[in-house]
């Protein structure tokens, strides 16, 4: 039995439920770009796309200028951010504000729910990475923040602007270039600007994440 690829499954679901689906992309945009190539009408079938990736003023976390998800497949990110659908880009500028504090970590350590236990087990590697690279016994909620933005858009402060991904620069490949000029070059006809998240309500994001995976406070 041949199983459908991730891109094929995206297309199948979108065709089966036209106009109903929102897509959350929390890694490189490879599968989503492949789905666009398979089904050129995909932007008409999808309600909304949220991408965790890119940066505006925040330094990159792979190179000096590039965020990891975009850097690992910049051509795919360029295709997704340029497609004719409503797209929100949750940047490092926003997610780097969502570091877990000691009380948040205590809640995770004491969690008794299966999702809480999974997060607790997964968090050790993540905490070690940030302790070694940032000198903090904590970590930011990059991907979970994007999920909260999809479910609760009001947590986000955004700017609407065209976004391009640098594909050729020796030192800048994977950089997201946000054109915030009043006379910014227009995108192709009918293509909306990206909704670029530049800040988040940190406390609400963390509360939504912990209430979901650990359980609400009693």
Q: 87 in a domain, yes or no?
A: yes
Strands (E) in 139-210, as ranges, are: 156-161, 163-165, 176-178, 194-200
Q: 44 in a domain, yes or no?
A: yes
Specify the number of domains making up the chain.
1
Cα dihedral 144, 61, 174, 69, rounded to 10, equals -30
pLDDT tens digits along 176-218: 999 887 776 665 555 668 999 999 999 999 999 999 988 777 6
Q: Quote the domain boundaries for residue 36.
A: 6-98+140-200
pLDDT tens digits along 133-177: 889 989 999 999 999 999 999 999 999 999 999 999 999 999 999
Q: Determine contact, residues 50/149, Cβ cutoff 8 Å.
A: yes
Q: 24 in a domain, yes or no?
A: yes
Catalytic residue among 17, 48, 125, 142: 142
Q: 35 in a domain, yes or no?
A: yes
Establish whether 152 is a catalytic residue: no
Q: 45 in a domain, yes or no?
A: yes
Look at the pTM and tell me if it is higher than 0.75: yes
Q: 193 in a domain, yes or no?
A: yes
Q: Determine contact, residues 122/87, Cβ cutoff 8 Å.
A: no
Residue 36's CATH number: 3.90.245.10
Which residues does 73 contact at the CB level (< 8 Å), separation at least 6?
28, 29, 30, 33
């Amino acid at each position: 039995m041949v199983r459908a690829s991730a891109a094929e499954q995206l297309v199948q679901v979108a065709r089966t439920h036209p106009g109903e689906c929102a897509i959350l992309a929390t890694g490189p945009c490879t599968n989503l770009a492949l789905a666009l190539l398979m089904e050129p009408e995909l932007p008409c079938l999808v309600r909304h796309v949220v991408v965790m990736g890119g940066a505006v003023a925040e330094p990159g976390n792979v190179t000096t200028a590039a965020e990891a998800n975009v850097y690992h497949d910049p051509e795919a990110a360029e295709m997704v951010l340029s497609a004719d659908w409503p797209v929100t880009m949750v940047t490092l500028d926003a997610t780097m504000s969502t570091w877990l504090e000691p009380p948040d970590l205590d809640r995770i350590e004491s969690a008794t729910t299966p999702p809480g236990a999974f997060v607790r087990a997964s968090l050790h590697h993540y905490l070690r990475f940030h302790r070694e690279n940032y000198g903090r016994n904590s970590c930011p909620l990059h991907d979970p923040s994007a999920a909260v933005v999809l479910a609760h858009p009001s947590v986000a402060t955004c700017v609407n602007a065209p976004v391009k991904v640098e594909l050729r620069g020796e030192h800048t490949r994977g950089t997201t270039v946000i054109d915030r000029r009043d006379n910014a070059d227009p995108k192709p006809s009918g293509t909306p600007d990206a909704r670029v998240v530049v800040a988040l309500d940190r406390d609400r994001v963390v509360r939504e994440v912990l209430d979901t995976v650990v359980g609400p406070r009693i």
